[in-house]
């Protein structure tokens, strides 16, 4: 089980990011065994809820996970190949910014902010802000001693 202290800390960062980045959806995920679990969310959409689990390959965060790099896209519909992404097909989210959360030099999860509308290009300060959030969450994960969750713990 993800400790309440970690979830509460993630909620504070997600809520701040939604306001600061002017993006209506903010999510902190934990990724394990090819699964993407939402552990904190601020969303005006009912499509995503706390505790929901999805196959990683059906999320935009798969690329953040596999590359271990921050990704910032303001017009997903104009990026070759992404119009066919399983998430874009079901919910056409247009703007996306995400950074990896680390634990023990591995990607433990992501923090991301998305919007169904186009967004102005992300400034360097926006990218740094999201990376700072990810770093803070990495420190929270270390502090509470969470490593990973197996599917049977969900």
Map out the domains of the chain with their CATH numbers.
Answer: 4-143 (3.30.450.40)
**Which residues does 44 contact at the CB level (< 8 Å), separation at least 6?**
24, 25
Alpha helical stretches, state H, the chain: 4-21, 61-67, 86-90, 124-144
pLDDT band for 150, please (50, 70, 90 cuts): low
CA 119 to each of CA 11, 70, 105: distance values in angstroms, whole numbers, following the listed order: 23, 17, 32
Place of tokens 């965060």: 61
Helix, strand, or coil here: 122? coil
pLDDT tens by residue, 113-148: 988 777 788 999 999 999 999 999 999 999 887 756
The single-letter DSSP state of residue 2 is -
pLDDT band for 154, please (50, 70, 90 cuts): very low
**Model pTM above 0.75:** yes
CB 112 within 8 A of CB 26: yes
Structure tokens at 129: 């802000």
Where is mean pLDDT largest: 32-36, 95-99, 101-105, 126-130? 126-130
Per the prediction, the chain carries an average pLDDT of 83
pLDDT computed for residue 69 by the predictor: 96
The residue that leads in pLDDT, 50 or 86, is: 50
pLDDT computed for residue 82 by the predictor: 56
Structure tokens at 21: 């980045």
Query: Which residues are bridge partners to 28 per DSSP?
Result: 40, 111
DSSP 48-60: --TT-EEEGGGST
Residue 78's nearest CA partner among 61, 99, 92 is 92
pLDDT computed for residue 28 by the predictor: 96
pLDDT tens by residue, 14-49: 999 999 999 988 999 999 999 999 999 987 766 677
């Amino acid at each position: 089980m993800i400790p309440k202290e970690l979830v509460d800390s993630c909620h504070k960062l997600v809520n701040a990011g939604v306001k600061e980045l002017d993006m209506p959806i903010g999510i902190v995920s934990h990724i394990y065994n090819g699964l993407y679990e939402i552990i904190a969310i601020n969303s005006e959409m009912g499509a995503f809820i706390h505790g929901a689990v999805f196959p990683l390959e059906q999320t935009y965060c798969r690329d953040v996970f596999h590359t271990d790099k921050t990704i910032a896209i303001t017009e997903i519909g104009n990026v070759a190949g992404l119009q066919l992404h399983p998430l874009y097909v079901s919910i056409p989210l247009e703007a996306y910014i995400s950074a990896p959360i680390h634990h023990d030099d591995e990607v433990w999860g992501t923090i991301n902010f998305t919007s169904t509308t186009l967004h102005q290009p992300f400034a360097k300060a926006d990218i740094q802000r999201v990376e700072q959030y990810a770093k803070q969450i990495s420190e929270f994960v270390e502090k509470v001693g969470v490593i990973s969750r197996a599917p049977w713990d969900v």
